[in-house]
Structure 1
């Protein structure tokens, strides 16, 4: 039975992926930013384990994990958590830049580093849920897009470094997805939010599981998903 370490399991795409893996009986280890969130996730997914560590404070992840029992084996690491804060370059403060870079890039890099030994044992899979903003940057998206462009670089480098150890690395680039994050984006853009216009979280979850469940003789490097007509 496969063991999956998942970030962002509490809402949106992460919740959809977590539900699907929980329903099929896989072992789940869910990263929670604090003890309260860990309790909520444990109640939502009976039988799942939780780890407490805040991606917004990547320098403290190692310390946090040293006080908890880590899984001995990790078959997949699914990086799904993320935050967004829009604004023009002329107005974004260092705080806004640091927040997005920490959660969207530095946190995933540190989490990956800390569980690489378990991934190597399992010859596992790492999936980075990126964004269309990780391929193209638009006005007011500079900090978020920079974090996601960096996430692509992280994935590409990790893939080459860990291929000799049997680890597969995939990046998934969803377009606008009907999720709480998308509702926040629309609010920041001053636009009316109509979830029916965008990709459903279950469709993105199917894409992620396709990359995860691919037979071992193949690897999806980059997979782009866009809203249908």
Structure 2
């Protein structure tokens, strides 16, 4: 992070929020929503896609940060001199359509590293700033952590594990005034979810939640009044699948 960007973040009159998985889906929708009145640090692996998100928003509202969250050393370097964080939205995740019979160890490891270990590591790194700000940490969970279905076996396992981490974290930081929440959407209209379900990327399946709806729920948690925390928000389609 260059000194000019670091100084800009430190001096921001708007809340500073880090959003991971920011180049597409729920993450991109969250950046779009929060950038109206926050300074957003948008984290993703693809520089080009991050820049597309930035270019669509008001000038100066978003700082793109390209880093692979599973690369522990790269993450430590990227966030080493971040002066301030008021909220962290741990949204980045990967998902594969697998069954117990087809699940390869490397697929399982990647999902666990990306969906559980990476957000835990980033939270660890940013906890001093979040504690100083009495900030808010939001994790994008999943309906799969309560209602798993066939062929989502590894993804559901990772989201069960994430929920356990979040619930324990909330207890650990309660005395520091840090708020911890899960926003858990059901089937959502994202490319990753379509691919996991074997649908085309431009599927028009009408029973899925718009990513912008999930982003509004994330904002609701981030903007909750100071005397409360919204610990779990379950966002379900208006018409449930059967």
Q: Report the TM-score when normalising by structure 1.
A: 0.89
In the other structure, the counterpart of 2:34 is: 21
2:23 to 10, 24, 38: 10
In the other structure, the counterpart of 1:50 is: 64
Distance (Å, rounded) in 2 between the aligned partners of 1:65 and 1:73: 10
CA positional deviation for 1:41? 4.4
SS in 2 for 1:214: coil
1:96 partnered with 2:110: no
Distance (Å, rounded) in 1 between the aligned partners of 2:77 and 2:220: 34
In the other structure, the counterpart of 2:84 is: 73
Unaligned runs of 5+ in 2: 1-13
Distance (Å, rounded) in 1 between the aligned partners of 2:146 and 2:222: 22
Where is the helix percentage greater, Structure 1 or Structure 2? 1
- Asked if the contact 1:176–1:199 (Cα under 8 Å) also holds between the matched residues in 2, the reply is yes
SS in 2 for 1:127: strand
SS in 1 for 2:42: strand
RMSD across aligned C-alpha pairs, in angstroms?
2.0
2:179 to 164, 168, 185: 168
Q: Report the TM-score when normalising by structure 2.
A: 0.85
Distance (Å, rounded) in 1 between the aligned partners of 2:46 and 2:30: 21
1:142 to 153, 159, 176: 153
CA positional deviation for 1:58? 3.6
